[in-house]
Amino acid sequence: SSTSSDGGSGGSGGKKLTLGFSQVGSESGWRSANTDSVKSAAKEAGYTLKFSDAQQKQENQISAIRSFIAQKVDVIAFSPVVVTGWDAVLKEAKAKKIPVVLTDRSVDTSDPSLFVTLVGSDFTDEGRRAAKILEKVLEKAGHKGPVKIAQLEGTTGAAPAIERAKGFKEVMDADHKDDWKIVVSQTGDFTRAGGKQVMAAFLQSNPDIDVLFAHNDDMGIGAIQAIEAAGKKPGKDILIVTVDGVKDGFVAMSEGKINAIVECNPLLGPQLMEVVQKVKDGETVERWIKTKESDFMQDQAKEALPTRKY
Ligand code: GYE
């Protein structure tokens, strides 16, 4: 009813909804923006938020979820650090009739009843978009002949790492079988430090890399430092495409050091809170609530920079 006495979000007989949220960690600019968005949207909705940071460790997420179950929260939401290994804990939540909403990243499970919905991006499509925008970047740079690509992968076993690689390869296999080649590919764990360290090693083993595809801006920014330390010009000697579109990524792009960015929107909080309320109220929701995003080339960076919200 609209006369909920505590001024809460309504729809639950006036009782404030309690949401348990297990976050991946604080590995990237994307993640900080996502955390801020979740916290402020929960506040806005009037929910009691129990927030837990897993520091990129699955075992921490599993204990956080168990503690949310023990505390009898109304809904559990989490962004799974990796895709596998969730069935046991999700069955415990199901047994206690606590609905689970996935946000940002998905899980691999043969039992679709273990979560209600996923609020997040299409990472495979982001990988495809990265390959498509690389075609433009190469053309703009006047690059002729074979293309030697280095790939900095996200966290091993994480949905965005698996799916971005998959989407990129799909376009590569279909349209660039003869001219593009991934010569090195390794995880940088979605962090700047990881990107820097792995890129330095790449440059040692493959000094003739033409392109870097980094699964996020932060690893790309770390790699830029390694490229400069090796005496090369990022954005010129090595063309760079990244994913996310955080402010620092846009800064690097406006300095000419990143050539293109595929946007992945972290501001999922408001959509998540809406879904959480519906799930609590027993309404049916779509199985996958996708985020809208765009792609950006270098010449758009300066103009777009002041409008970036994260
Ligand atoms: O791209 C990366 C973060 O899961 C979409 O995780 C997210 C990814 C994002 O660490 O920066």
| Cβ atoms 180, 147 nearer than 8 A | yes
Give CA–CA dist 13/5, Å, rounded.
Answer: 9
Identify the pLDDT of residue 179: 97
CA–centroid distance, residue 8 to ligand 1 (Å): 32
CA–centroid distance, residue 160 to ligand 1 (Å): 7
> Is the confidence at residue 250, as pLDDT, over 60?
yes
CA–centroid distance, residue 84 to ligand 1 (Å): 17
> Is the confidence at residue 177, as pLDDT, over 60?
yes
Identify the pLDDT of residue 5: 39
> 144: which 2 tokens?
């002729």
Q: Is 243 close to ligand 1, i.e. is its CB under 6 Å away?
A: yes
CA–centroid distance, residue 121 to ligand 1 (Å): 10
CA–centroid distance, residue 227 to ligand 1 (Å): 23
Mean pLDDT of the chain: 94
Q: Is 164 close to ligand 1, i.e. is its CB under 6 Å away?
A: no
Cβ partners under 8 Å of residue 133, min gap 6: 241, 260, 262, 295, 297
For the CA of 246, the nearest atom of ligand 1: 11
Q: Tens digits of per-residue pLDDT, 226-249? A: 999 999 999 999 999 999 999 999
Residue 169: exposed, middle, or buried by beta-carbon count in 10 A (0-12, 13-18, 19+)?
A: middle
Identify the pLDDT of residue 102: 98
Q: Is 275 close to ligand 1, i.e. is its CB under 6 Å away?
A: no
> Is the confidence at residue 12, as pLDDT, over 70?
no
Identify the pLDDT of residue 85: 98
Q: Which residue has the higher pLDDT, 10 or 293?
A: 293
Q: Is 34 close to ligand 1, i.e. is its CB under 6 Å away?
A: no
> Is the confidence at residue 11, as pLDDT, over 60?
no
Nearest protein Cα to ligand 1, atom 8: 160
Identify the pLDDT of residue 293: 80
Q: Is 27 close to ligand 1, i.e. is its CB under 6 Å away?
A: yes
Alpha-helical (H) ranges within 245-295 are: 247-254, 269-280
Give CA–CA dist 119/234, Å, rounded.
Answer: 34
User: pTM of the full predicted structure?
Assistant: 0.93
> Is the confidence at residue 145, as pLDDT, over 90?
yes
Q: Is 280 close to ligand 1, i.e. is its CB under 6 Å away?
A: no
